[in-house]
């Protein structure tokens, strides 16, 4: 042991030894650990006899050791007097903590560096809280952006029927003595007003679909399908609808949203069909999705497929299908919110929805849901 | 003024006759005035049937005789434009922006690729007054940007000025 540490001042020893919130240790010129305190044992997990004599680089992550971070820090301390760093460090059991480290160079009589004092504080709690705050801020920013876009689309689409009501009102006024014209324009005004009501209702439906308050519980998709079939009982009979479904699994989901998802998809398949609708609901294996950015590689997914024999649409417009108020077909009435609702529901369940279609060849929806 | 319009077909060509003759349709304006005016041939591309009808009403009061071909989608328009013959070229194309499937902006770009239509005025007819829509459409080669208004009489006045070749700014409202 170098000259300077031979004197055994009990006060200094006491001051450092029992401190629990900071690891305060002594390193020699090469980073070898010379002593230990209670804080070091608490933060890093090693008892004194196991660690004294080892190099302090064992606290560093493998990648940091490979890039030479420990060496870099003591070099910086030797050059500048001290080095500060914050980063992930390793405990004895392999777990990590977020450490705030100050390494101070200690000098001998001739001003040469004879060792280092290293003080470490465990700031894991604070780091996790900061990360959570950043994530929340990003989420809020994203939600605000989505809200802005939605408000833009909504106000735009709601202005349409308003403008028409104004236009037809003026024309009605101009043609006030022509009873036929008056009737015609009154009818149009009523239709536009009804359309506004429908649009507003769909805006509300869309904005109400949130995930945060709802509970995910075991949901039997067969039960969901049965309930939706009951909702559509009359329509099924009227349009001669056939549903072919194999046995569906039970998944953790929000039942009321699953109901709405099935309802919207089946409703669409019936509507956009010029003859007897046949809808197939099947489940399948999820393959080759590990490299797909939409999927979390650590979770298993269920593939739920809805295939119909309806009018279909040109696949090049598939990107528009799930956008709010975007309709792919003006010949059929609707608000264009149905599929946007489906997408929102699938997003709430951290899944993914895709569509494949071709004109007059039917449409297939592929829904991936975490199991 | 006599209102004349042929609903859907552009003036067809008869075999053996020069196509130029069919660019003119002679109209008697009123009983005392024998002034003949050439019909302004217009195409409107808008997915909304009410808007197509309102446009026609505005045309009727524009002060000019016209032929109107209403089309409900950009793809239908492009079908006509890709093989269009010189004699069938319209005088004005009016184009909605907010349409399902092929959007107005995409349709505009496709129209501007058709060489025989490159001097045909394309007027955007849209509910939008968004500055980016105005800028982009100008960049893609639209001739004017006409914001839809509830005042049909005002629209008739603007159309009248347009057809009389009055100098007008890009944005019409």
Whether A15 contacts A37, CB under 8 Å: no
Domain containing residue A70: CATH number: 3.30.450.20
Please check whether residue A166 touches B, CB under 8 A: yes
Whether A90 and A158 share a structural domain? no
Please give the structure tokens belonging to residue A63.
């990648």
The pLDDT of residue B10: 42
- How would you write the pLDDT of chain A (371 residues) with one tens digit per residue? 555 555 667 777 878 888 888 999 999 999 999 999 999 999 999 999 999 999 999 999 999 999 999 999 999 999 999 999 999 999 999 999 999 999 999 999 999 999 999 999 999 999 999 998 998 898 888 878 878 878 877 887 888 899 999 999 999 999 999 999 999 999 999 999 998 998 888 888 887 876 566 788 999 999 999 999 999 999 999 999 999 999 999 999 999 899 999 999 999 999 999 989 999 999 987 876 666 767 776 778 899 999 999 999 999 889 889 988 888 877 777 888 889 999 989 988 888 999 999 999 999 999 999 88
Report DSSP state, residue B118.
Answer: T
**pLDDT exceeds cutoff 60 at B15:** no
CB contact under 8 A, B72 and A330: yes
Please check whether residue A318 touches B, CB under 8 A: no
Region label for A179, one of left (φ > 0), alpha (ψ between -120 and 50) or beta (otherwise): alpha
- Rounded to a whole number of angstroms, the distance from the CA of A359 to the nearest CA of chain B is 13
- Distance (Å, whole) CA A340 – CA A321: 8
Sheet of B171-172: strand order equals: B66-71, B40-45, B92-95, B122-126, B144-147, B171-172
Q: Within 10 A of B108 (CB to CB), how many other CB atoms are there?
A: 22
Of B50, B100, B128, Cβ closest to residue A326: B100
H or E, element range at B126 = strand B122-126
Domain containing residue A352: CATH number: 3.30.565.10
pLDDT band at B32 (very low <50, low <70, confident <90, very high): very low
End-of-domain residue from the set A187, A208, A229: A208
First and final C-alpha spacing in chain A: 61
* DSSP E strand stretches across chain A: 22-28, 82-90, 96-107, 113-122, 217-220, 242-245, 250-253, 278-284, 301-308, 352-357, 363-370
CA dihedral A125, A130, A135, A138 (to 10 degrees): 170
Whether A115 and A131 share a structural domain? no
CB contact under 8 A, A156 and B151: no
The pLDDT of residue A268: 92
Q: How many residues does chain A have?
A: 371
ipTM reported for the complex, 2 dp: 0.75
* Contacting B residues, span 6-45, partner chain A, CB-CB under 8 Å: none
Domain containing residue A194: CATH number: 1.10.287
Q: Rounded to the nearest 5°, which phi and psi values hold at A188?
A: -65, -40
pLDDT digits (tens, 9 = 90+) for A322-369: 988 888 877 777 888 889 999 989 988 888 999 999 999 999 999 999
Q: Using alpha carbons only, how large is chain B's radius of gyration in Å? A: 16
The pLDDT of residue A80: 95
The pLDDT of residue A210: 67
Whether A157 and A221 share a structural domain? no
Q: Superfamily assignment of B19-172 in CATH?
A: Response regulator (3.40.50.2300)
Please check whether residue B150 touches A, CB under 8 A: yes
User: Which segments of chain B does DSSP mark as H helices, in order?
Assistant: 49-60, 74-82, 104-111, 131-139, 152-163
CA torsion through residues A76, A77, A81, A85, sign: positive
**CB under 8 Å, gap of 24 or more: what pairs does A146-150 form?**
A150/A206, A150/A207, A150/A324
The pLDDT of residue A285: 77
Whether B58 contacts B155, CB under 8 Å: yes
Of B99, B127, B152, Cβ closest to residue A171: B152
Please give the structure tokens belonging to residue B146.
């006409």
Whether A112 and A178 share a structural domain? no
Whether A171 and A230 share a structural domain? no
- Distance (Å, whole) CA A312 – CA A355: 10
Number of domains in chain A: 3
CB contact under 8 A, B100 and A314: no
Whether A73 contacts A85, CB under 8 Å: yes
Whether A283 contacts A304, CB under 8 Å: yes
* Average pLDDT for B125-136: 90
Of A159, A167, A317, Cβ closest to residue B152: A167
CA angle A107, A113, A118 (to 5 degrees): 80
Of B48, B101, B148, Cβ closest to residue A328: B101
Please check whether residue A188 touches B, CB under 8 A: yes
- Distance (Å, whole) CA B169 – CA B173: 10
Whether A143 and A93 share a structural domain? no
CB contact under 8 A, A170 and B152: yes
Domain membership of residue A224 as a residue range? 215-371
- Distance (Å, whole) CA A40 – CA A120: 8
The pLDDT of residue B8: 37
Whether A234 and A369 share a structural domain? yes
Whether A222 and A305 share a structural domain? yes
Residues of chain A neighbouring B127 (CB-CB closer than 8 A) = 156, 159-160, 163
End-of-domain residue from the set A103, A122, A141: A122
Whether B105 contacts B134, CB under 8 Å: no
Average pLDDT, chain B: 81
Report DSSP state, residue A60.
Answer: B
pLDDT digits (tens, 9 = 90+) for A75-118: 999 999 999 999 999 999 999 999 999 999 999 999 999 999 99
**Residue in chain B nearest A167 by alpha carbon:** B150
Q: Using alpha carbons only, how large is chain A's radius of gyration in Å? A: 34
CA dihedral B37, B43, B46, B47 (to 10 degrees): 120
* Average pLDDT for B15-38: 40
**pLDDT exceeds cutoff 80 at B5:** no
Each domain of chain B, given as residue ranges in start order, spans: 19-172
Whether B92 contacts B38, CB under 8 Å: no
- Rounded to a whole number of angstroms, the distance from the CA of A157 to the nearest CA of chain B is 10
Place of tokens 């329509």: A235
Q: What is the 3-state secondary structure (H, E, C) of B1-36?
A: CCCCCCCCCCCCCCCCCCHHHHHCCCCCCCCCCCCC
**β partners of residue B126:** B147
CB contact under 8 A, B50 and A164: yes
Q: Rounded to the nearest 5°, which phi and psi values hold at A360?
A: 65, 10
Whether A23 and A13 share a structural domain? yes
User: Which segments of A209-337 does DSSP mark as H helices, in order?
Assistant: 221-231, 233-239, 255-271
* Average pLDDT for B60-74: 93
The more confident residue out of A236 and B37 is A236
Whether A281 contacts A226, CB under 8 Å: no
Whose CA is closest to A184, among A199, A204, A168?
A168
Whether A182 and A102 share a structural domain? no
- Rounded to a whole number of angstroms, the distance from the CA of A166 to the nearest CA of chain B is 6
Whether A300 and A179 share a structural domain? no
Please give the structure tokens belonging to residue A129.
């809280």
pLDDT band at B35 (very low <50, low <70, confident <90, very high): low
Whether A134 and A178 share a structural domain? yes
pLDDT band at B96 (very low <50, low <70, confident <90, very high): very high
End-of-domain residue from the set A122, A151, A173: A122
First and final C-alpha spacing in chain B: 25
- Distance (Å, whole) CA A97 – CA A122: 7
């Amino acid at each position: 042991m170098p000259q300077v540490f031979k004197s055994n001042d009990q006060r200094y020893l006491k001051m450092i030894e029992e401190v629990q919130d900071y690891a305060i240790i002594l390193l020699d010129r090469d980073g070898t650990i010379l002593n230990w305190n209670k804080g070091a044992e608490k933060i890093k997990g090693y008892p004194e006899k196991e660690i004294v004599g080892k190099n302090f680089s064992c606290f560093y992550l493998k990648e940091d050791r490979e890039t030479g971070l420990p060496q870099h820090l003591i070099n910086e301390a030797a050059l500048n007097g001290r080095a500060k760093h914050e980063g992930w460090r390793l405990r004895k059991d392999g777990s990590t903590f977020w450490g705030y480290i100050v390494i101070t160079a200690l000098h001998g009589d001739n001003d040469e560096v004879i060792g280092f004092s290293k003080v470490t504080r465990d700031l894991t709690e604070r780091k996790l809280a900061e990360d959570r705050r950043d994530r929340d801020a990003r989420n809020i920013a994203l939600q605000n952006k989505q809200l802005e876009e939605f408000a833009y689309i909504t106000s735009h689409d709601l202005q349409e029927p308003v403008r028409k009501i104004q236009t037809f009102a003026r024309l009605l006024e101009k043609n006030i003595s022509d009873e036929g014209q008056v009737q015609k324009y009154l009818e149009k005004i009523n239709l536009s007003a009804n359309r506004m009501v429908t649009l507003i209702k769909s805006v509300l439906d869309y904005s109400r679909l949130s995930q945060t308050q709802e509970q995910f519980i075991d949901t039997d998709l067969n039960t969901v399908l049965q309930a939706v079939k009951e909702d559509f009982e009359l329509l099924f009979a009227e349009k001669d609808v056939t549903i072919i479904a194999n046995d569906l699994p039970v998944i953790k989901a929000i039942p009321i949203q699953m109901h709405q998802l099935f309802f919207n998809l089946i409703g669409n398949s019936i509507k956009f069909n010029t003859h007897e609708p046949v809808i197939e609901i099947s489940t399948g294996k999820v393959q080759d999705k590990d490299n797909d950015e939409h999927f979390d590689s650590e979770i298993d997914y269920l593939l739920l497929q809805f295939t119909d024999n309806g009018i279909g649409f040109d696949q090049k417009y598939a990107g528009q299908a799930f956008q709010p108020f975007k309709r792919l077909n003006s010949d059929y009435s609707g608000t264009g919110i149905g599929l946007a609702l489906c997408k929102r529901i699938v997003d709430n369940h951290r899944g993914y929805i895709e569509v494949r279609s071709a004109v007059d060849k039917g449409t297939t929806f592929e829904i991936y849901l975490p199991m | 003024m006599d209102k004349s319009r042929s609903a859907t077909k552009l003036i067809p060509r008869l075999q053996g006759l020069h196509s130029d003759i069919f660019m003119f349709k002679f109209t008697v304006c009123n009983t005392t005035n024998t002034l003949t005016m050439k019909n302004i041939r217009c195409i409107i591309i808008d997915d909304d049937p009410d808007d197509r009808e309102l446009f026609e009403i505005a045309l009727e009061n524009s002060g000019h005789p016209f032929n109107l071909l209403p089309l409900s989608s950009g793809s239908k328009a492009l079908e006509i434009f890709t093989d269009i013959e010189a004699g069938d070229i319209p005088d004005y194309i009016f184009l909605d922006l907010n349409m399902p499937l092929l959007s107005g902006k995409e349709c505009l770009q496709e129209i501007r690729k058709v060489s025989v239509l490159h001097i045909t005025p394309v007027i955007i007819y849209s509910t939008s007054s968004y500055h980016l829509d105005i800028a982009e459409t100008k960049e893609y080669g639209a001739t004017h940007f006409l914001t839809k208004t509830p005042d049909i009489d005002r629209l008739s006045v603007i159309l009248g000025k347009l057809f009389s070749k009055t100098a007008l700014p890009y944005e019409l409202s």
